[in-house]
Amino acid sequence: MAVLRQGGIIACPAETMFGLGVDPFQQAAVTRLLQLKQRPADKGGLILLVADLGMLRMVACEPAPLARRLMDRFWPGPLTLVLPAHPALPHWIAGPDHTVAVRIPAAPVATALLAIWRKPLVSTSANRSGLPPARCADELRQQWPELYIVPDGGTLGDGDSLPSTLIDLHHPDRAVLLRSGAIPDVLLRQEIPHLEGP
């Protein structure tokens, strides 16, 4: 955890690919992460991993009933929800309209890391902007030999592995599918018949 406390960047296996993580409350660390990925700062908010609903309340407002229903059905797992951000969430981590994208991961290493770290963690795919995400430590080291890599279990997923499904719930009466992903749309629509988007 010393790497994170000192504002460093780590790489950690998630469900289907590696993610890059930093302490979301250190602006310099978030800036370095965006520079490492060659990602524009105005592209939007970064995803935060949380361990449980108690940790969620550190970064997001109290979830509305629809959000709670999706959390109960699909968390832990590859579903990212865009929610109204906690009023105190720093501007450098919040998305447009002061929102926050969050999920509880199912990946054992990420879960263990959150239990030790004990606060939210930025997680963004381990790739430079426009390139496919890394699926093993060797692929990571080819791009960034200086990164601290949390021990992994080999190669994650396959070349067609999908990212987390991303749903915008920051309006209380709307649910918008921003990105199709690892959770089939048919399962989502069982819970949200009025789901908007592709």
Please report where in the chains the tokens 């990571």 appear, as a residue: 140
Residue 31 has pLDDT above 80, yes or no: yes
- Residue 90: other Cβ atoms inside 10 A: 14
CATH H superfamily, domain 2-152: DHBP synthase (3.90.870.10)
- State the average pLDDT over residues 124-139: 82
In the chain, where the domains are located? 2-152
The predicted pLDDT at position 152 comes to: 53
Task: Classify burial at 114, counting beta carbons within 10 Å of its beta carbon; exposed 0-12, middle 13-18, buried 19 or more.
Answer: buried
Residue of 160, 174, 171, 177 whose CA lies nearest to 80: 177
Cα–chain-centroid distance for residue 119?
14
